[in-house]
């Protein structure tokens, strides 16, 4: 009872003292079952009758206190039909978000936005990053590879000695308007994809990040308005890739890129492998960055000779730390980055070995949830379409805006904070036995 009798902090409310006392006394008597004398002592009234008077006046003048904050009647619900109609409309919406906005265009029940949210989630509609499903649920071998990698990575201390590198396409113009917040409504396990075919112009960037800052950005082949003169190889249709994979007994599910990766893994990274040429009739290399260009980006050669190169950019970040001779270079297993033991692959390996003390050659395929550079790309894209949206309108001005935001926002402090999440990601992957890291 002594705890109940202590005086309330009346100064924290922006009300006249007399009003504060009336509300407090009424609350204690009607809600907390204080006696009038106890309420008077707690709120500063000299007479218990005054506290009781105000409690009675407020109780009789308003809806009964016991009903305040409680919804009268049955809780509103959404039928599966309504949830599906709203979910499909959100899926077709260019932004993919804004439940209340999209619901207002449909003949939906008159309920609150929070009820719409609950109804969507109850019927398997979720807000999820584009292409968030990694296909791990029914792929036990790949989960095991991820699990083993994360266990080995404990000895590498990537949170202080690691780099993460990759490329990213940014689209703009025309009807291409990606969701600036990165997440959209979609069926559970069926996230939306950003369709770059709608982009009037594209920027293809390579970059790397370290715990001590980011590299420069490199505009590679595929960037609108930039022609580096590298040899382009014929594109191969997805149907041809699927037919070749099926003939070789490989999985034909997934995107065109994932099917191609399986073919290249089957061929040991050799685009001239007899089986590939026999089934495809040509080398299955997509237009875009090839191995020759990738090595030039790594070392700052050829068209990139005005820049240090990704590897030396990272080396400079570690130069003033105790890890100058022990840092790790990370890249995924894309064929352009490795190509196994082929002549091109050996050139890439030698380029990396000439600068980086170590490299993660065992990075698990299709694991963006573990790659910190993917988080950086998502952050940069959101900034491009929000804070920097007024600074570009075409390909050239978009490049300048990307350079500016990279310089201003992808700072050493940002990188330090981001690398602070690496151990949580690694341990999170181990916790779910190689599955997708929660929240990534």
**Quick one: 352 exposed, middle or buried, by C-beta within 10 A (0-12, 13-18, 19+)?**
buried
2/5 Cα distance (integer angstroms): 5
- Model confidence pLDDT, tens digit, residues 166-214: 999 999 987 777 766 667 888 876 777 777 777 899 999 999 999 999 9
Q: Report in angstroms the alpha-carbon separations of 104 from 94, 137, 302.
A: 16, 36, 55
Rounded to an integer, what distance in angstroms lies between the CA atom of residue 250 and that of residue 261? 11
| Number of residues written out for the chain | 440
Give the largest CA-CA distance in the chain. 99
Q: Is the pLDDT of residue 408 over 90?
A: yes
* Mean pLDDT calculated for residue range 410-424: 95
In contact, 99 and 113? CB cutoff 8 Å: yes
For the stretch 275-303, what's the b/e string if a residue is b when 16 or more beta carbons lie within 10 angstroms of its beta carbon? ebeebbeeebbbebbbbbbbbbbbbbeeb
| Nearest CA-CA partner of 253 in 120, 372, 139 | 139
pLDDT of the residue at 48: 84
Across the range 257-264, mean pLDDT stands at 76
Q: Is 346 left (phi over 0), alpha (psi -120 to 50) or beta?
A: alpha
What pLDDT score does 132 carry?
Answer: 61
103 has a pLDDT exceeding 60: yes
pLDDT of 308 strictly over 60: yes
Contact between residue 297 and residue 304 where contact means Cβ atoms under 8 Å apart: yes
Residue 68: pLDDT band by 50, 70, 90 thresholds? very low
Task: Among 11-15, 251-255, 392-396, name the most confident range.
Answer: 392-396
The listed range with the strongest mean pLDDT (2-11, 222-231, 239-248, 259-268) is 239-248
pLDDT score, position 273 = 73
Q: How many Å apart are CA 264 and CA 277, to the nearest integer? A: 12
What is the C-alpha separation between 241 and 258, in angstroms, rounded?
Answer: 10
Residues 6+ apart with CB under 8 A from 138: none
**DSSP H helical ranges for 139-283:** 140-152, 158-161, 238-247, 256-266, 274-280
Q: pLDDT band at residue 127, thresholds of 50, 70 and 90?
A: confident
- What span, in angstroms and rounded, lies between the C-alpha atoms of 433 and 76? 39
Q: Smallest Cα–Cα separation from 376: which of 331, 333, 406, 408? A: 406
* Listed residue (343, 366, 340) closest to 266, CA to CA: 340
Tokens describing residue 87: 């979910």
Q: What percent of the chain has pLDDT over 70?
A: 82
pLDDT at 415: 96
> Quick one: pLDDT at residue 298?
94
Q: What is the pLDDT of residue 181?
A: 62
CA distances 19 to 24, 30, 54, 129, 201, Å, are 8, 16, 10, 49, 63
60 burial level (CB within 10 Å; 0-12, 13-18, 19+): exposed
What mean pLDDT value characterizes the chain? 82
> In angstroms, rounded to a whole number, what is the distance separating the alpha carbons of residues 358 and 52?
77
C-alpha to C-alpha distance for 225 and 403, rounded to whole angstroms: 16
Predicted TM-score (pTM) of the model is: 0.66
For residue 104, how many other CB atoms are within 10 A of its CB? 9
CA dist list (Å): 39 to 21, 28, 46, 59, 358 = 10, 6, 10, 15, 71
């Amino acid at each position: 009872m002594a705890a109940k009798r202590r005086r309330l902090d009346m100064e924290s409310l922006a009300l006249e003292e007399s009003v504060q006392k009336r509300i407090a006394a009424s609350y204690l008597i009607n809600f907390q079952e204080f006696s009038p004398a106890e309420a008077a002592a707690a709120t500063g009234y000299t007479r218990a009758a005054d506290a009781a008077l105000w409690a009675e006046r407020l109780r009789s003048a308003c809806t009964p206190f016991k009903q305040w904050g409680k919804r009268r009647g049955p809780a509103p619900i959404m039928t599966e039909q309504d949830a599906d109609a709203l979910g499909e409309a959100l899926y077709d919406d260019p932004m993919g978000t804004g439940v209340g906005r999209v619901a207002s265009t449909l003949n939906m029940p008159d309920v609150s936005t929070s009820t719409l949210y609950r109804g969507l989630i109850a019927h398997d509609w979720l807000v999820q990053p584009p292409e968030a499903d990694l296909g791990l649920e029914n792929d036990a071998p790949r989960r095991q590879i991820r699990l083993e990698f994360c266990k080995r990575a404990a000895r590498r201390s990537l949170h202080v000695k690691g780099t993460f590198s990759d490329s990213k396409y940014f689209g703009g113009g025309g009807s291409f308007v990606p969701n600036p917040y990165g997440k959209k409504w979609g069926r559970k396990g069926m996230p939306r994809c950003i369709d770059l075919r709608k982009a009037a112009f594209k920027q293809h960037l390579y970059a790397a990040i370290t715990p001590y800052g980011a590299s420069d950005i490199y505009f590679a082949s595929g960037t609108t308005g930039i022609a580096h003169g590298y040899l382009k190889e014929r594109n191969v249709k997805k149907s041809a890739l699927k037919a070749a994979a099926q003939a070789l007994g490989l999985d034909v599910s997934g995107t065109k890129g994932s099917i191609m990766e399986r073919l290249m893994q089957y061929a040991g990274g050799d685009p001239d492998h007899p089986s590939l040429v026999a089934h495809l009739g040509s080398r299955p290399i997509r237009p875009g960055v090839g191995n020759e260009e990738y090595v030039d980006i790594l070392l700052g050669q050829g068209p990139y000779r005005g820049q240090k190169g990704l590897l030396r950019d990272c080396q400079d970040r570690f130069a003033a730390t105790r890890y100058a001779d022990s840092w790790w270079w990370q890249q995924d297993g894309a064929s352009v980055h490795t190509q196994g033991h082929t002549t091109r692959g050996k050139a890439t390996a030698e380029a990396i070995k000439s600068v980086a003390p170590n490299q993660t050659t065992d990075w698990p395929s299709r694991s963006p949830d573990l790659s910190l550079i993917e988080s950086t790309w998502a952050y940069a894209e959101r900034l491009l379409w929000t804070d920097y949206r007024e600074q570009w309108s075409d390909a050239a001005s978009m490049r300048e805006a990307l350079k500016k935001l990279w310089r201003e926002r992808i700072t050493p402090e940002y990188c330090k904070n981001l690398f602070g999440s690496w151990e949580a990601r690694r341990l999170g992957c181990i916790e779910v036995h190689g599955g997708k890291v929660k929240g990534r």
